[in-house]
Structure 1
Amino acid sequence: MTFIPRVTLALLLSSMAGIALAADNPLSVHVLNLESGLPSPEVRVTLEQLQPAGWQSLNEAFTNQAGRIPALFPADKSLQRGTYRVTFKTGDWFAMHQEQTFFPEVPVIFDVDGEVDHYHIPLLLSPYGYSTYRGN
């Protein structure tokens, strides 16, 4: 019989629940710190959709210990074609870690074309640079 410590079991079950939730959610993000090579937990991320009157707020969440938000899109809405903006509040995160940054926030504007069921936006972050791409 294999013994699994309670903390490990709790983390495993929490991860499995997150994966189940994310499987139905069309949008996820991931933030990695390029300086340390580690995930960036507690980064505030906002999601907006471009409407004729301007940007409409849809959701806000914080990255988990793995630097991820597996389900950023609101559960009570369906993802429509259009233009969206995910904004990573990087200045707040760097300030929390007593570091300076040149970029107080990183807005990523992208088009949902309906070609795929899930959109993933990774952010590779350092104090004076960043990179992002369409993930899967």
Structure 2
Amino acid sequence: MKGFREFILRGNVIDLAVAVVIGAAFTAVVNSIVQNVFNPLIGALFNAESLNDALVLSIPTLDGKSADVRFGAVLGAIITFLIVAAVVYFVFVMPMNLLKEHAEARRKAGESTAKDPETELTVLAEIRDLLAEQRAMSADSGTRRHEQ
């Protein structure tokens, strides 16, 4: 049970859950735009109420009925995909890429003006130098005492 609780409370699981919920809401908005704006406009070009009714090819069957091949529905699905991809790119991907570029540029500008970051080696060298100074000072004070 402890492992499950740790898994659930990880930040990336929470982020993923939020992304799924936002994605579902976003999908509903995009689908509404496509079905209520773009489909009627394209359907008007083909004298149909929507893309589902546009570009229909009726094929007669052996029993005297007909089978409808709906190329308009496929076109609608392609348009929906392209709109979703464009919105995701322009609303999410492009701004995030710009933010990353600006952050990287700021980081590089900060690196050129800032001194080299301290490493373990530089800290150890400073400690060595301080100890050497202390030894020299204590040796100096010891020789002075003997002279007096």
TM-score > 0.5, shorter chain as reference: no
Q: Looking at both structures, which has the greater relative contact order when contacts are Cα pairs under 8 Å and sequence separation is at least 6?
A: 1
The structure with the largest strand share of the pair is: 1
Larger Rg, first or second structure (1 or 2): 2
The structure with the largest helix share of the pair is: 2
Q: TM-score, normalised by structure 2?
A: 0.22
Q: TM-score, normalised by structure 1?
A: 0.24
